[in-house]
Amino acid sequence: MEKDIKEYLDSTYLKTANEAEISEEENRKTLFSIVDEAISCNFKCIMIRPKYVAEVFKKINQTKTSTKVGTVVDFPFGDGSTLKKVNEAKDAIKNGAFDIDFVCDYNAFKRGYFQKFDTDIIEGTKVCIENKRLAKWIIETGALSKEEIMKITQRIVSLVQKYFFKNANDVFIKTSTGYYSGYGANISDIKLIKSCSANLKIKASGGISSFNFASDLIFAGADRIGTSKAKLIYNQQ
């Protein structure tokens, strides 16, 4: 591993109060305890729901941490319109988000609706590049066959290299939302994505809860680790 593990970690809390089966107030407390962890450990990014971005950005801005704020767009299904993706990204950027994790329309891709899929990728990435932000495209590996993982990666790479070649290092392929049938990151998917990701980066996410597993994913090709267990991973190094 070339860097300290904290440089790879996107500490993540995306649960709604309903999903966590707790009150809104309790969910908010949980979120901000994770934000405090990210600040104290100086993790790469804190990944949260859009509605918290402005407040968390303000809190982080009052500290000396280099931790960035990130959020999700068209989450968790990715089947919204291109305009929905673009507007959500613009709002998040305006509120202080640096990392924008879009869910790509993987079902459109699977059905061969490439005009919709391609337009989403181009327009979403464009918003990020124009605002000097990072774009990460969640392909939802659990919904795809191995062949589809390879082909969807190649398609995103082709679009980024065609339209944003000079900024390709600011675009990631991300494995999972963590919401698809409990399917998360694994070594074989990271190796497959790495084999055809060219100069795009890779974010592994979903079910990563140990330093050893995170290290194995990084060794396989991951540049970022998205996890709700960032502090645990950090403490195990």
Which residues belong to the active site? Answer: 101, 174, 203
Task: Return the beta strands (E) in the chain as ranges.
Answer: 9-13, 45-48, 68-73, 99-103, 134-138, 171-174, 201-205, 224-227
> Hey, what are 105's tokens?
């329309």
Calpha distance 178→185 (Å, rounded) = 9
DSSP 173: E
Angle between helices 53-61 and 24-41 (to 10 degrees): 40
Instruction: Count Cα atoms within 13 angstroms, Cβ side, for 81.
Output: 3
* Integer Cα distance of 226 and 237 in angstroms: 16
CA 173 from chain centre, in angstroms, equals 8
